[in-house]
Amino acid sequence: MSSIVVVQHVLAEGIGRIEPLLRDCGIDIDIVRPDAELDPTAVHKTSGVIILGGPMSVYDADRYPRLRVEMQLIENALKSQIPILGLCLGSQLLAAALGSQVRPGPSKELGWYEVTPEDRAKGDLLFKGMPARFKALHWHGDIFDLPSGALHLARSAMTKCQAFSYGTSAWGLLFHLEAGIPEVQAMTAAFPDEIRASGTNPEDLMADTVREEPETARLASTLFGEWVQLVKVRDPSPASTRTQR
């Protein structure tokens, strides 16, 4: 049975546009909720791992002990070359597992800003179909340097390392291409003070989201579709049940 483990940090942040791509390929989705126990050996029973975003930081492990377990899960997946997709906080955890220091950036990057893929991204499995520039939702305050041995895939005007890959099975994306209108609505409702503190307001953020929806939905299908196919190839057995715990 093809299945993936999805590690969630807050209920407001889910897999969004990735879910229908997985469902269409018959891949089971095991969502580990924020208050659920996480088994770091679960990677040995799955075909892929997605680590989602959240408001905490990698260096907040004393306050959020499960982050250490997530690092173990990521390290196990890396050793077994199980496909990993880290989104926002997930990309920071992946970078940290690969030896990079995650630290506060000079300012919070929150809103719809341009992403520029590197020239080398043209040969990357996920980024090969992406345009020379595209808009994406950014919602982070922490940054990291490119991990040793990783391939730098994209940047923004504010943040040098917006995306990277490691080997043939791991990708970290600091931006939120998975988030469509419903997901941004949920995040906006959950964190309105954070939005205003960044210098914008929830109404403007939603207006930008609606404007960017058609193009970003298409790009998300292109990029995440490649990752889903990688998972499917690893274990092509069909499945139709979605589990949550």
Active site residues: 88, 176, 178
Contact of 9 with 46, CB cutoff 8 Å: no
| Measured distance between the N- and C-terminal CA atoms of the chain, rounded to whole angstroms | 18
Distances (CA, A) of 245 to 24, 139, 165, 198: 22, 26, 29, 33
From the list 201, 102, 139, the residue with the least C-alpha distance to 13 is: 139
> For 212-216, which contacts have Cβ atoms below 8 Å and span 24 or more sequence positions?
212/112, 212/135, 212/137, 213/180, 213/181, 215/134, 215/135, 216/134, 216/135, 216/136, 216/137, 216/177, 216/180
Q: Report the distance separating Cα 244 and Cα 31, nearest Å.
A: 5
Q: Residue 64 region, left (φ>0) first, then alpha (ψ -120 to 50), else beta?
A: beta
Encoding tokens for residue 48?
A: 């892929």
Q: Collapsing DSSP states into helix, strand and coil, what is residue 134? A: strand
Q: Which parts of 37-142 fold into alpha helices (H)?
A: 66-80, 89-97
What secondary structure letter does DSSP report for 139?
Answer: E
